Chains A and B, each alone.
Chain A
Amino acid sequence: MRPSIEEILKGIKFTLKEVIVPDLRSPWPQWMVEQIDYFIDHLIIRYQEEPQMLMDENRELREILSEADRVFRAVGIDRNDASLVRLADEINEQLKAQPHEEVGYNPVPFMQEENNILKSKVCESIKAMERAKEEGKIPSLNAVRVKIRDYIKRQVKREGPFMHSLFGVKRDT
C-alpha cells in the first residue's frame, strides 16, 4: 500500500514545518509542534525497528526465564522453599504458552503484551532471589541474577535509539 506509513509520517512532518509553523505566533504552540516533530521521528524509528527489537528481547527473556525455571525448581526443592517452586511452575507455564500461535504471525501489540508478561516474571524472580539470598548465599541464584542484570543493561541500551529522538537527536530516517 502506498504511500507507506513512513512516507505519510514524513509528509506530516513537512506539513507541520512548511504550513503550520509559519503561522504560529506564540511560543507554547511552537514548542508543542516541535515536540510533535520529535515524536514523528520516534514513530518512524518504531515502525522500522520495533518488531525486530521485540522479537530479540522476548527471545532473550525466554532464555533467562528458562534458566530461572530450572534453578528455582532445583533450589526450591533442595531447600524446601514452596514459594520458589511455585514461581518456577508459573514461569514454566508462561514459557509453554504460545497465546498467539493461531494468528500465524506476531503483530507488535501481541509481542508487546508477551514482553510485559515475561518482564513481570523477571521482576518476580528478582524479588524471590532477594528473599532467598537473605537466607544464605546460593551461587546458582547469583548466576541467574547476573544474567538478569546483563539483560537490564542491554534492554536500556536497545531502547536508547528509540527514545533519544524525543530530544531532537536526529537520525537519518
Chain B
Amino acid sequence: MSTDFEERIAEYLRGKMPHVENLTLLKLERLYGGIGRETYELSVRWEEEGKLVTREFILRRDQPAGVFRDTEVSLENEYNAMKVLYHTEIPVPRTYWFESDPKWFNRNFMIEEKLPGIVALEAVTDSNQREKLVDQFIRYLAMLHTLDVGSLGLPKADIPTDPRECTAREIAKWERAFMREKLEDDPLMVEALVWLKKTQPKKVQRISLLWGDPGPGNFLFEGDKIIALLDWDMSHIGDPMSDIGWICWRGSYYEEELIPAEALFRLYEKYSGLKIDQESLHYFKVFGLFVALTCCITGKNSFCTGRNLQMDHAAIGMGTVQLFRETLIQWLGL
C-alpha cells in the first residue's frame, strides 16, 4: 500500500481526534474476502492525557466501481444502520466516522472499531460449537425483526405506512438498478421482473428493519459466541421474510447453508413469534436471486466500461451470473 494512503489516513484521524497528540499509524493491512468494499485493518497509537494508547480500527472504503452503486447499496446506509443498532441488543461494531468528502480518497469510507473473531463459519468443525453459533445468529435475527421500527430514530420517509409498500419499493429500486447497469438485453430478467411484480406477497406480518445480507461470512465469532453482526450496507425496511429468503437462496450455493431450512424455520418462529410463510419465502428467494444477479451485472458493467478492471468482476459478471440464471429458471418455473 502506498505511503501516501497511510499518511492521509493518519492526517484524517488527527483531524477527527484533536484532543490527542502524536497520533501515528503503526500498521495498515488490507483484508481480503468479499467483493463489495475494500477493508483495512489499522493499528493506531497516540498520547492522551499523558498516557500512550494503542487501538485498532477497521476502515471500509468504496471501490472505484464495483458490484454496487450508492443508489442501492451504500456505505452511508451501513453506517446509519450500525449507528442505530449499536444502542440495541444487536451486537454490531461501534462506528466512529463516515466520510463523503472526496478530498481524502475520492471515495466514501468509514471507520469502525475492530473486534476480535473470525467470520469463516466453514472453519468450524465442532458441530456443538456450530449449533450454538447458528442458534445465536437466528436469535439475533429474530430480535432485529421484532424491533419497533418507529422508535429507532430512522427517517419517517423510509418507513412505509402500508407493509405491502415495502416490497413494491424494493422492486422499483432493483428494477431501476438492473435497467441502468445492463449492457445486454436479457429476456430472463424481464420474465423475473414480470413475476416479481405480479406475485408480491399479499400478507405481510409486520414491517421490520432488515439486515439485507444475512448469512455465513457476515458475522464475527470467537469460540461459540457471536461477537458482532457485519455488512449492513443492504439494510432496509421491509418484510422479515425477505431476510429469511435471502438466507435460503444463499444457502443454495457455495456450501453456504447455515442449517437445514426446516431447523432454521423452527428456531426463527420460536424466537421471533412470527410465522414462516412458505409463499412469501419462495417469493423472496427469487427476489434475492434477482438482486444478486443485478449486483453481478453491476460488477460486469464496472469491468466492461473500464472502471474496474479486476478480473474477479468479470468472473462474477459471467460465471456467477450463469449459475444464478440456471437457478432462476428453475425457481420461476419456466
Q: Give A residues with C-beta under 8 Å from B.
A: 27-28, 32, 35-36, 38-39, 42, 116, 119-120, 122-123, 126-127, 130, 148-149, 151-153, 155-156, 159-160, 162-164, 166-167
Q: Across the interface, which residues of A come within 8 angstroms of B329, CB to CB?
A: 152-153, 156
Contacting residue for A123 out of B190, B314, B325, B326, CB 8 A: B190
A123 with B315, Cβ < 8 A, contacts A152-B334, A160-B326 known: no
Chain B residues numbered 64-93 whose CB sits less than 8 Å from any CB in chain A: none
How far is B194's CA from A152's CA once the two chains are assembled, in angstroms?
15
A35 with B312, Cβ < 8 A, contacts A119-B186, A156-B329 known: yes
Whether B194 pairs with A130 at a CB distance below 8 angstroms is yes
- Is B7 in the interface zone, CB < 8 Å from A? no
Whether B185 pairs with A119 at a CB distance below 8 angstroms is yes
Number of interface residues of B (CB under 8 A): 23
Whether A160 pairs with B311 at a CB distance below 8 angstroms is no
New A-B pairs, 15, CB < 8 Å, besides A35-B311, A119-B185, A122-B187: A32-B310, A35-B312, A35-B315, A39-B311, A39-B314, A122-B185, A130-B194, A149-B191, A153-B329, A153-B334, A156-B322, A160-B326, A163-B323, A166-B315, A166-B319
Q: Across the interface, which residues of B come within 8 angstroms of A151, CB to CB?
A: 187
- What's the minimum C-beta distance from A112 to chain B, rounded to whole angstroms? 9
Q: Across the interface, which residues of A come within 8 angstroms of B312, CB to CB?
A: 32, 35
- What's the minimum C-beta distance from B311 to chain A, rounded to whole angstroms? 4
How far is B137's CA from A114's CA once the two chains are assembled, in angstroms?
49
How far is B322's CA from A159's CA once the two chains are assembled, in angstroms?
8
How far is B98's CA from A113's CA once the two chains are assembled, in angstroms?
43
Q: Across the interface, which residues of B come within 8 angstroms of A149, CB to CB?
A: 191, 334
How far is B184's CA from A46's CA once the two chains are assembled, in angstroms?
18
How far is B325's CA from A122's CA once the two chains are assembled, in angstroms?
17
Contacting residue for B191 out of A39, A126, A164, CB 8 A: A126
- What's the minimum C-beta distance from B29 to chain A, rounded to whole angstroms? 12
- Is B52 in the interface zone, CB < 8 Å from A? no
Q: Across the interface, which residues of B come within 8 angstroms of A120, CB to CB?
A: 185
Chain B residues numbered 140-191 whose CB sits less than 8 Å from any CB in chain A: 184-188, 190-191
- What's the minimum C-beta distance from B295 to chain A, rounded to whole angstroms? 17
- Is B318 in the interface zone, CB < 8 Å from A? yes
- What's the minimum C-beta distance from A30 to chain B, rounded to whole angstroms? 11
Q: Across the interface, which residues of A come within 8 angstroms of B310, CB to CB?
A: 32
How far is B32's CA from A167's CA once the two chains are assembled, in angstroms?
19
Whether A123 pairs with B318 at a CB distance below 8 angstroms is no
B334: nearest chain-A partner, CB-CB:
A149
Q: Across the interface, which residues of B come within 8 angstroms of A167, CB to CB?
A: 319, 323
How far is B325's CA from A160's CA once the two chains are assembled, in angstroms?
10
Q: Across the interface, which residues of A come within 8 angstroms of B185, CB to CB?
A: 116, 119-120, 122-123
